[in-house]
Structure formats: structure tokens, C-alpha cells
Amino acid sequence: MRGQLHYQDPHFVTYDRSNTMIAIFWYYAYMRYAQIMLFVAGLLFIAKTSSHAQVVTLIRGRAFSEPVAAEKLAKLGESYNNQREWQARAEMLRAGIRKGLQLEKLPPTCELKPICHSKREMDGYTVENVAFESLPGFWVTGNLYLPSKIEGKIPGILNPHGHFKNARLTESNQTRCAAQARMGAAAFAYDMVGYGESTQCEHRRFQVQRLQTFNSMRALDYLLSLGFIDEDRLAVTGASGGGTQSFLLSAIDDRIDLSMPVVMVSAYFFGGCECESAMPIHKTEEYETNNVEIAALVAPKPLLLVSDGGDWTANTPSVEYPHIQRIYSFFGAEENVENEHFPDEGHDYGPSKRAATYPFLAKHFGLNLAAVENSAGEIDESFFQAIPEDELRVFNAEHSRPDYAHQGCDEVLRLLNKGG
């Protein structure tokens, strides 16, 4: 029925742009006041920017059973049987994702105006507190890990985080970035919107997926602005929601040369947070897709899937990975895609999962794996020394956020909307 909000599943929501007021009326019956205001804002924006009625479907969370998802994935695979057919679909998906994220047109590029302080010399690497402006008055906060000695151009690796407590400041995150730097890369760990020091806009907000992905694109700009980053060796890796950021960025920003999404790529799970599935990227009038195909959009560039038996990536070795392997075979690039599966582990980016990523980086980026190995050739992170969380913060009593910083999502999104 046109104009009516439909609920086939709490994670599978369909609405029609052609009649926003009726949709709002029905939505009121299902959601809390705050959610209503969020939805109204989204509908008004869509109505303002759309010249014709269009049905939009959000596929969220565990949208399908595992058998149904596997069947749907196999059916998708029947539509491409060679490189030409896959590339045609890939081009359509990339365009659809950019459109769904409202990143077809970007706002004018502003100066990064980086704030850098508190550089520390560690065992084979350095750590510095860094913030830069992705939009005028909106700051991306993080930490930059560099090798102690830099000779020539080095790889750059983005490390977005997931929905874990303390976000970028966890010892796990610190360890991974320290190891990447010790091996010879620049590693940048940064806050997702609404996490850590990113307090200018809340996390669970309509269009946060758009803002967060834009920030990741600007994080690449920041790395490249350093002057010693090799533009042909740029990578991204993160777990859970950070895994979502990894494959989304890889899909729409062709500057990414290597992707390592951890515990996230699934045929049946689409992400349950606004930062993962609150915008129409998985289904439109032109196509229906899933995160398996989105992760494969980086092909034929190196892709490592890290999965485990305790979450929605349990089927990766038998479902998702073979599907992506087949896509890589179209390019004759099977050696560029791998899966490291940990059947007895759960949803994290723990020691064994970190250890799986280091050889992959060394193989494809020419990094020094021996820098994180012991005399027996085993991964050894004992060099790492955790830095207290408060010391890693960019903004503190001595370094305050600039007084022209915007506060509130409405103000921030207004700046982002200048691109459209």
C-alpha cells in the first residue's frame, strides 16, 4: 500500500517517499518520540531532494535466516559468471551505495588544520595525539602511530573501531596500531561519530553512517597530507562496526588498496546500528545486495576476511568466502583473497585475529614481519606498552577543542549537505 509503513521484520523496513505525512502517522504508532523525530527529519530531507516518488527499503540486523541468506547469495552469484558481468554489477553497486549514503556529491574540501601533540617515543614506534577538521568546525579525533625511523614512502593504515567499550583507546586497538607502526606503516586510529572524543554529534542518529564514512574518506586525506605516505599502499581494518567501515570505505573510495574487515562480513547480518544500515545501501529499485558483495567490491585488490564461530561470521569458510573467492577468480587474483577463521573464538579483534593480519600486511605491502616476531618466528607483541587512556586524548585541560567547533548533529549535517 502506497504511503504506508510496512513491518515484515523489525530490521526490514519499507517506506514510500511519495507520501511522507502518512508514513509519519503510521511510524508514530511503533516508535518512541525521539525515534519519530529522527525519522521525520530523514523523510523531510528525502522529500526535499527527490524529484519523484521512490520506494526505499532498509535491510537491517538479522534480516534473513542463515539458509535463506545463503540461498539468496547463491542466486546473486548466478547473475555474474565472468569479470565483465561482475564489473558491471560492481559499478552499479558502488553508484547505489554512494547514492544511498548521499555521498554522490561531497562538500567543498576544507583545510584539515591538524592539531598534534604529546608525541611519545616507544619501542620501535611513536604515538601522537591528533585531530583534524573533516568539515569546518567538526573534528575527527585519534592517534597516529609511526615507525621510529621513516625512510622513503611508507604504507598508511586506517583503524576504525566498532561498538566496543573505550573504542579507539582499548589495549587491543593500541596493540594493533603499535604493531603496524613497528612493521613500518603509519597507523591512524580514530573515533567513530559519537564515541570517545567525538562528542559533537551523537552516534545513533539518522545519517551517522554518511558522516562516519565521510570522516573515513577525510582520514585518508589526512594520512596523504603527511607527505611520506605511499598512495599505492593504503589499507583499512577494523572489527564489528569497524569492519563495516572497512568494507564501505573500500567499496566507494578507490584509494584503498587493501581491506581487512574483521568479524563482520555476513550473508544474513546487515548490521544493527544506524552507522551500518540506517541508509538505503542494500536495496533499491535497481538492486538488492548484502555485505558479502559490498566487501567484494575491493576486488581484485587484497582482501582478508577474519571470522569466528561465535557470531554471524561463523559460516564464512563455507558461505561468504567461497562466494568472494569466485569473484576474485574472474580476475585471476585468487591469491589476493584469504580467510582466517577461528571457530572457537568470539566477536573481537583479539590476539589471534591480530596475529592473522600481520602476515597479510607484510605479504602485500612489503612490511617487516620480523619486527613483531620472536626468535621462533611466532607473532610476539611483548614489545607493546599500553598508554593510559587519558593520555591519548587530544582535547584536555591543556589542549581545548577550538571554540568555533559546531555542537549538535543538525549543525554538522548542514555542513555535509553543502555537497548536494
The pLDDT tens digits of the residues spanning 98-151 come to 998 888 888 888 999 999 999 999 999 999 999 999 999 999 999 999 999 999
What 3-state DSSP class applies to 326? helix
Residues 6+ apart with CB under 8 A from 7: 13, 30
Please tell me the predicted confidence (pLDDT) of residue 7.
27
Are 270 and 59 within 8 A, CB to CB?
yes
Are 206 and 231 within 8 A, CB to CB?
no
Please tell me the predicted confidence (pLDDT) of residue 361.
99
| Domain extents in the chain | 1-53, 115-392
Please tell me the predicted confidence (pLDDT) of residue 50.
44
Please tell me the predicted confidence (pLDDT) of residue 251.
95
Please tell me the predicted confidence (pLDDT) of residue 163.
67
Please tell me the predicted confidence (pLDDT) of residue 109.
87
> What values do phi and psi take at 40, rounded to 5?
-60, -45
Q: Which residues, in sequence order, are bridge partners of residue 337?
A: 303
Instruction: Look at residues 385, 381, 362 and name the one whose alpha carbon lies nearest to residue 373.
Output: 381
Length of the chain: 420
Question: Which residues of the chain carry a pLDDT beneath 50?
Answer: 1-54, 420
Please tell me the predicted confidence (pLDDT) of residue 346.
93
Instruction: Look at residues 235, 195, 236, 192 and name the one whose alpha carbon lies nearest to residue 210.
Output: 192
Please tell me the predicted confidence (pLDDT) of residue 194.
78
What 3-state DSSP class applies to 307? strand
Question: C-alpha cell of 170?
Answer: 582499548
Q: State pLDDT tens for residues 203-221.
A: 555 677 788 899 999 999 9
**Could you name the CATH architecture of 115-392?**
3-Layer(aba) Sandwich (3.40)
